[in-house]
Structure 1
């Protein structure tokens, strides 16, 4: 492909991936690929682009790379932004993954709905990614490799160079006399991707020159299959979800194991958690969904806890299990923050003298007698707190975080659940945010 044809093909691909009024943020490392990407964008008419460089601080040359990128952007009249990120260099085995994670977090900051984050991944990157997926024993999700476009929480991520080989990009750079930097870590074959790039890929290309193109085609086929699977999974997921985004176990039971596991993965994805492993999926179904009826099973994962209650699977934030250890005396504040900042009570007090007239305490279940009973308004008799919490379908893991308001030693309210009959009236009110 001639370099003028490459530019035409690039523009055509960009039109397929974007909509009118698009704003672009170019991920600029300073390497060959991102330099060519930036140059291609600089040739577009009516462009609205910014280049964003991430300084990982991993190389002694990091400062000079930043200067190079800034100078390049100035020569192309492209606005330039740089962000420094901090990495834990002690964990060497995961340094590559950690750097990638931190990089994307920084790059996604400030995106809007019409903004496209653009990376310079190309056909050879696709080959490396699929080979790494094969090494891990990945399924279709991994074997689809790098996708040309994906939605982010805000905006999109696109890779308009996926159809071009590294050789084509290098030829383009040489024609326009572009310069770029070489990251010395790219030669470190302790990293799997570098080992594939420098040792495996040359052997494959020597035997099969078109291997990068054919693997890219296979990845495209996998992407089509994944799209179909995702459409089926989304339909199944909506059927199994409650209005509170919990999974109904009875509806999961009618699905095949494959479709059920896809629903569980989709549930995690929608909540923006990492996919559980196959072993964890098995545990969620066998040990949580099918635990004894009177059990309160849970599985603790890296990001979240999965629990079962009333025939549904729930995500439980680990922080939500933290309750106050001491009673809190209200001193007339308009707001009280409890449970390490996870819970806020707002008070609407009609009488400014109430704190002088009454002693008000906010307690949690572990701070008063388990035998305590109260009579909610509208009820004909008292019931135990335990039974009332069960009646209001408060999940077991949340019961220790329900604030109970006592006034002069009498239970006034289980905040957000019920208010009690008390022997005198008061203008004290409270509600939870």
Structure 2
């Protein structure tokens, strides 16, 4: 009996994804554990492994297809000895109701079944959009969302789906026009219309190129907008004398050179933040509506710039790990993040975050909290500045660090204690190696 291969949920928040690339084709034999496809989720591009063995009978969702809902049948797998054509015919004509793309996807016909399409009868007009008993235009949820965003009148569109149902393909290329005067009863459920941030060439004369947002960029936009709208941020900045930490780093790197380990300043800052969170546990929390979660270990999410957008791999138990272990793990996670190969457990979670823009010469900045975490630490470049050392004015390597805190979970005095603890650990860094 043929087995349907469905779009997997590769992360807890994934509802749909982009089938970025197929690595198999009809007729290929596969075994459990073989990589079949690359799927772009709401976090990263991930490999999709086979769980059964057999032969690919058909591919029902082509690579490059966006918005494929979780649970949609994307291919059919035939068992050993099973007829591939018969297995391909077993693919559902309209898979998951939540996915319009599945309803439109059909098994690839075999060469024997291929034939020239019949000429349409010019005397037969295309079916108009079907209306149900309440005189409401029948359209897929995705089509309604797109028309709401573009300001398109659904009544002016001819549906090509079953019974004249309006589907995504009907509205994708439709020009934005006057919104329908009669509002769709489901309009409030649709996503709010977002105006384009790029001015039209005819308006300002500046040419531009339109680029679609990746799933990752869409999630970044949504989550950070929600964070700034819903999380009451407050910010605390402190100056840190980095000279003691830099001296310790030089000494440690000299002793670790034989092991092939080279500590970065960021590795030590990860450890300093983790230890500070354990010293001030009131800040190692997340806001959960009616409750606050207080964590017993420090898992530090570290911002990494990847080609698809910002992602935050996590150094778990950073408060108890050695600096060498943190350095090795951070390099591995950063490389995987840039290649889009992070696994969900490597970027989901975290009790607090660290963002470092010092390598770009940024002196100081305020970062946006990544909910439900309660804080994020933003560190700038260490630079030579006049600084008071032991009561006298000297030149020192000084770094500005700014903490962004969720005031619903962390009071100002607690945030100040965390910043003070972080400063003390950086300026007395032996606390990082014991």
TM-score where L is the length of structure 2 = 0.24
| Greater C-alpha Rg | 1
Greater share of helix residues, 1 or 2? 1
| More relative contact order, 1 or 2 (CA 8 Å, 6+ apart) | 2
TM-score where L is the length of structure 1 = 0.24
Greater share of strand residues, 1 or 2? 2
